[in-house]
Amino acid sequence: MSQPLLEVGGLTVDYIGDNADVRAVDDVTFSLQPGEFLGVVGESGCGKSTMLFAIAQLLSPPAELTAGTVLFRGTDLVRLGEGTLRSVRWRDFSVVMQSAMNALNPMKSIAAQFADTMRAHGMRNDDTVRDRSAEVLRLVGIDSVHLDSYPHQLSGGMRQRAMIAMALLFTPQLVIMDEPTSALDVVAQRSLMTQIKELQRELGFAVLFVTHDMSVVGRYSDRVMVMYAGQVAEIGSTDSVFGSPLHPYTRGLLDAFPSIRGPRRTLAGIPGSPPDLARPPSGCRFHPRCPAVMPRCSVDAPELFHIGDSDVRCLLYQQPLEDTA
Amino acid sequence: MSATNPAPRDDAGVLLRTIGLTRHFKLGGFFSKRSLHAVDDLDLTVHEREIVAVVGESGSGKTTVARLLALVYTPTRGDIVYRGRSVLRLRRRRDLLRYRGEVPMVFQDPYSAMNPVFRVSHGVLRTLALHRPELSKAQRHQEAVRVFETVGLTPAADMLRKFPYEMSGGQRQRVGFAAALALGPKLILADEPVSMLDVSIRAGILNILTRLRDEQGVSILYITHDIASARYVADRIVVMYAGHAVESGPTEVVLGRPKHPYTQLLLSAVADPKDRAVAVSSDTGEPPRVIDPGEGCRFRWRCPLAVDTCSTLTPRPRPMGPGHEAACHVAVPEAESSLDIAAVG
């Protein structure tokens, strides 16, 4: 296996509070191969967006990266100064934000916003800028006449595509996406995802894709990471996570979706609601809601156990030899 | 396989019916002639003890339908008939109050639907005092406990004392249903009641919908963009596109044998976590034109089957099978033979 493009190790982010700090991302470790599509799923407040911001070094107070490394092609982004970081960010990895439709400046045409980005990274020739802008816009399926359009003249799906075009201006090796499709209707969503996959095949960049929607991840990603309460609950290939989910939370998530095909089944959902990270439950953080809870789950905090080609944070998978309870 | 009963065609068991319900919004300044057609010529029927799902994408007019039925908007044209009487002709405060009590609304966002400075019991008790003045204070409290227990907020006495901020989104949405239930409703208008909730708690709310129908005999108009959840709860489905009802019928028939090209597109786009095949289509999901749309089918720009008639004549709903209608010039009804079989069987 080639060297990973991105290696995140022990990443920990705290929101610094007046009374107590809230640990939003707790010791997250994973790696991403070049050209790979990793889907990160979790419910609101599980730390998935905070984790992306931490990887892109875009955290702002009160959030603080308190531990961990983010090795991007061997360089630790955490230790880079703002100046060096600025030259790497967007050239080598770019970010597509949630509700990208609002991330575009309403006062500027698409061309002007693309030009800003390119000039900031040292591309000064007006013709090159114009050509490249038209090129990336065509890549995402938008006619280049829209270069002179303003964001309000584009539909939600087109704005989202324009944001992705902007992220591809420098043909980065990694594109980080935070729920890029959640504000879109299903048809537009499907179309955008198909496009992202095609571009990825064509240009070979890796994607780190955060969403709350299991079904999007199931269709399009190579590997899946399920987060719960700031921690990795399960990570593995899409086939194994969807085919034979290990963590009770993953199973619950998969069973919480009604299906449009096959027989109608009664859905159980997951009882309770996600924990308040200011006061995380003792032991395993999922134990108050877990259908497979054991007495020691409220005492012992599970580590990640390696099962098959997945890693899972659940005491069910602890080797019996270590079982002293 | 054909376990679905055709909807009754006569007026027996009809709770609410809309006739040519239309709502346009004027755009621009005083002299502007432009108008946005949010809902056009909608004939919708809700029977007793029935969950009807109105499914559509953003801008399809589904929320406008709920607001028209809740008398938040006045229709531009058309009528709403509730239990045989036109709701739009109700003038007396008592009659309007009764209609609003029997047809309450549950909102999409449980975070902003409650007054944050009062305990959650406040809203429920006040509603009871307004709509059911015959109850004593103790009875009102008893009733609040009963509806809280019905929607799974237990122990009800403790839950009633909480402030909204002490509750999770799912619990707040249950309070919304409890408040609606306190009115002794016949038809609950539920506008995207689960779309703001986390996936793991959606199922619980959806199960409340079916429980209210089965145990309390309440009908529900379930407004959603999520076809899969509509299938999970609804007896019948109405698919809306650009203000028109393009297809309606028993849930399993509409989803199993969709006739309208838009319904077919929508179904092909739904991602299913357990079915991971990637469907292929070049449709990019551009929103429909609803500002002065003129005559013709509103889906024709995106329709793979469009013919000349589609741009000159607006299609009206046509029968496709028992209780199944589609507004499409091209759609072919179920073969006559299978209709006969259905009629005999």
| CB B265 within 8 Å of CB B283 | yes
**Residue of chain A with shortest Cα separation from B1:** A263
**Rounded to 5 degrees, what are φ and ψ at B61?**
100, 5
Q: How confident is the model at residue B341 (pLDDT cuts 50, 70, 90)?
A: very low
Please give the DSSP secondary-structure letter assigned to residue B46. E
**Residue of chain A with shortest Cα separation from B263:** A187
* Same-domain status, A77 and A186: yes
The average confidence (pLDDT) of chain B is 86
Has residue B323 been placed in a domain?
no
| CB B46 within 8 Å of CB B55 | no
* Same-domain status, B31 and B166: no
* Same-domain status, B226 and B160: no
* Same-domain status, A153 and A205: no
Has residue B32 been placed in a domain?
yes
Which amino acid makes up residue A31? S
**Residue of chain B with shortest Cα separation from A270:** B200
Has residue B259 been placed in a domain?
yes
pLDDT of residue B272: 64
Residues in chain B with CB shorter than 8 Å from the CB of A244 are none
Neighbour order of strands in the sheet with B324-326: B105-106, B187-191, B219-224, B51-55, B236-241, B244-250, B324-326, B318-321
Tokens of B149: 């227990």
pLDDT of residue A71: 92
* Same-domain status, A191 and A88: yes
Residue A147 half-sphere exposure, CB side, CA atoms within 13 Å? Answer: 16
Domain count, chain B: 2
Residues in chain A with CB shorter than 8 Å from the CB of B202 are 256, 269
Distance CA B33, CA B111 (A): 37
Domain count, chain A: 2
* Same-domain status, B89 and B125: no
Residues in chain B with CB shorter than 8 Å from the CB of A158 are 286
Nearest to B299 by CA among B308, B291, B287, B317: B287
Q: Is the pLDDT reported for residue B221 higher than 50?
A: yes
Calculate mean pLDDT across residues B274-303: 73
* Same-domain status, A176 and A256: yes
Nearest to A206 by CA among A231, A234, A180, A171: A171
Which amino acid makes up residue B313? L
* Same-domain status, A158 and A197: no
Nearest to B125 by CA among B147, B108, B96: B147
Which residues make beta-bridge pairs with A232?
A227
The H or E element containing residue B63 is: helix B62-69
pLDDT of residue B9: 46
- Tell me, what CATH number does B223's domain have? 3.40.50.300
Distance CA A256, CA A245 (A): 14
Scanning B22-61 for CB atoms below 8 A from A yields: 57-58
Nearest to B173 by CA among B136, B131, B209: B209
Query: Out of A219, A256, A268, whose CB is closest to B271?
Result: A219
Q: Which residues constitute the domain of residue B169?
A: 113-184
DSSP 3-state of A88: helix
Has residue B9 been placed in a domain?
no
DSSP 3-state of A59: coil
pLDDT of residue A325: 45
* Same-domain status, B242 and B195: yes
pLDDT of residue B152: 86
Has residue B340 been placed in a domain?
no
Distance CA A32, CA A40 (A): 12
Q: Tell me the residue length of chain A.
A: 325
* Same-domain status, A187 and A87: yes
Scanning A145-184 for CB atoms below 8 A from B yields: 155-158, 184
Domain boundary among B133, B149, B184: B184
Has residue A311 been placed in a domain?
no
pLDDT of residue A100: 61
Q: For residues B181-201, b (16+ Cβ closer than 10 Å) or e, as one string?
A: bbbbbbbbbbbbbbebbbbbb
Neighbour order of strands in the sheet with A22-32: A22-32, A6-15, A63-72, A75-76
Query: Out of B200, B231, B287, whose CB is closest to A256?
Result: B200
* Same-domain status, A76 and A203: yes
* Same-domain status, A165 and A201: no
Has residue A312 been placed in a domain?
no
Has residue A163 been placed in a domain?
yes
| CB A120 within 8 Å of CB A203 | no
* Same-domain status, A72 and A179: yes
pLDDT of residue A101: 61
* Same-domain status, B75 and B193: yes
* Same-domain status, A57 and A110: no
Strands B324-326 and B318-321: antiparallel
* Same-domain status, B224 and B99: yes
For residue range B59-93, what is the model confidence (pLDDT) as tens digits? 788 889 999 999 999 999 999 999 999 999 988 99
Query: Out of A215, A262, A268, whose CB is closest to B273?
Result: A215
Please indicate whether, in this complex, the C-beta atoms of B280 and A215 are within 8 angstroms of each other: no
Distance CA A276, CA A46 (A): 10
State whether residue A299 sits within 8 Å of chain B by CB.
Answer: no
* Same-domain status, B169 and B192: no
Has residue A302 been placed in a domain?
no
Based on the number of CB atoms within 10 Å of its own CB, is B174 exposed (0-12), middle (13-18) or buried (19 or more)?
buried
Has residue B343 been placed in a domain?
no
* Same-domain status, B26 and B46: yes
- Tell me, what CATH number does A182's domain have? 3.40.50.300
Please count the residue pairs, one from chain A and one from chain B, whose beta carbons lie less than 8 angstroms apart: 138
Distance CA A138, CA B84 (A): 57
Helices (H), chain A: 48-55, 82-88, 110-120, 126-139, 156-167, 186-203, 214-220, 238-243, 248-255
Contacts for B117 with CB less than 8 Å, ≥ 6 apart: none
DSSP 3-state of A60: coil
DSSP 3-state of A252: helix
Scanning B64-103 for CB atoms below 8 A from A yields: none
Distance CA A45, CA A22 (A): 11
* Same-domain status, B80 and B190: yes
* Same-domain status, B170 and B271: no
pLDDT of residue B101: 92
* Same-domain status, B180 and B193: no
Domain boundary among B287, B304, B324: B287
Has residue A323 been placed in a domain?
no
| CB B329 within 8 Å of CB B299 | no
pLDDT of residue B35: 85
Q: Is the pLDDT reported for residue B220 higher than 60?
A: yes
* Same-domain status, B121 and B72: no
Q: Which residues constitute the domain of residue A18?
A: 6-92+171-260+268-281
For residue range B2-21, what is the model confidence (pLDDT) as tens digits? 344 444 445 678 999 999 99
Has residue A313 been placed in a domain?
no
Has residue B326 been placed in a domain?
no
Please indicate whether, in this complex, the C-beta atoms of A261 and B276 are within 8 angstroms of each other: no
State the smallest CA–CA distance between residue A179 and chain B in angstroms.
Answer: 14
Q: How many percent of chain B have pLDDT more than 90?
A: 52
Has residue A316 been placed in a domain?
no
**Rounded to 5 degrees, what are φ and ψ at A213?**
-100, 105
* Same-domain status, A128 and A46: no
Has residue B40 been placed in a domain?
yes
Q: Tell me the residue length of chain B.
A: 345
Tokens of A313: 């944070």
Q: How confident is the model at residue B276 (pLDDT cuts 50, 70, 90)?
A: low
For residue range B20-66, what is the model confidence (pLDDT) as tens digits? 999 998 877 677 778 888 999 999 999 999 999 999 887 788 889 99
Domain boundary among B287, B315, B330: B287
Residues in chain B with CB shorter than 8 Å from the CB of A220 are 278
* Same-domain status, A85 and A197: yes
Q: With a cut of 70, which residues of chain A have pLDDT below it?
A: 1-2, 99-101, 320-325
Distance CA A39, CA B258 (A): 32
Has residue A183 been placed in a domain?
yes
